[in-house]
Amino acid sequence: MTTVQSTDFHIMRGHVADGTVIIAPSGKRFTLKNTLRGWVVVGPDGVECSGTLSSAYDVEYFVVNGLQTH
């Protein structure tokens, strides 16, 4: 399992993988999950917070931009 800061997240570093733990600037830990239709980011409370992300680029965009306020 990989753990990465949201500001350091990048698709070319192998961070788009099932089970990757992403630490937001607030210190909250989010988990990246693979589904049949794409990827989802699950919050520390176990609730999906991203919707379905269909590509690795979409995952990176959500993590780098969307998690900055979480």
What digits encode the pLDDT tens for the residues 18-57? 999 999 999 999 999 999 999 999 999 999 999 999 999 9
Task: Give how far Cα 1 sits from Cα of 18, 23, 65, Å.
Answer: 8, 13, 22
Cβ-contact 33, 40 below 8 angstroms: yes
State residue 69's pLDDT score: 82
* pLDDT (tens digit per residue) in 3-24: 999 999 999 999 999 999 999 9
State how far Cα 12 lies from the chain centre.
14
Taken in order 44, 47, 53, 55, the sign of the CA dihedral is: positive
pTM of the entire structure?
0.93
